[in-house]
Chains A and B, each alone.
Chain A
Amino acid sequence: MPITLDRMTKGTKGRVVSIAGGRGAVLKLAAQGIAPGMTIEKVGHLRGGPILVKVGQNQVAIGKGLASKVIVRVVTE
């Protein structure tokens, strides 16, 4: 079942299904490797704030609002 990135449990991996945002958000996320089809790992969650994500070797912090627009399907290994 797809969930939003901010609700993903820390330490799990997911495959991005879609981005429910405007063109600007989609472009910015895409350039950091957060695009449909990509596998991402949630590595942290700061209180009241951003979510830390790893895409390959790239580590990115995503504000909570933006993270709630990233729809992922959790990958179970």
Chain B
Amino acid sequence: MADSVDISKGLPPNPEKATLEGQNKFLGFWVFLGGETIMFATFFGTYLGLRGGTADGPTSADVFSLPLVFIMTMILLTSSLTSVLAMFAMKKNNFKALMGWMWVTVLLGAAFLGLEIFEFYEYSVHYGLGYTTSAFASSFYTLVGLHGAHVLFGLGWITTLLVRYRKSGITLTNAPKFYVASLYWHFIDVVWVFIFTVVYLMGVGV
């Protein structure tokens, strides 16, 4: 794992792990994801414990709308695929395709976030489900809002990378950064899989 690289040999097949720094970023990020899993578990556990406590306010079955959640789910799942395609482009040293797929990922993520903000607005203004209305409301907004905050952070992160490296081409410095950002994006999608199942799908039938 040298710290210098022979440019003439071409981009290594796994550019994200070609340097020691890249390997460290890769490993460190998985440590972080293991911890994130447990953090989200505490929020899921809290929501599951409190979701019945509606304090005469609206229940989950009153407010949740499946069509909206379905659209949000499809958008986020597709954005996960586009970041996979971006990583394939990166390994092939196709800088334009990497940037293109990453921008598509950002746009889909922004659409998802917009729909989530609209959803929260609908619930709080039209259905009277404020943050402090009931234990169900607080735990719902905290869990789904935490996920939304992750999406927002991911959007800022990927946009920063895209703007900073808009002209640099794929290097051994930025390849690990794009790779780790795409791992983060997949993790957001994995968390959403459990949110749409545990919160929304299990919430409409009660």
Partners in one complex: no
Q: List chain B positions with a Cβ less than 8 A from chain A.
A: none
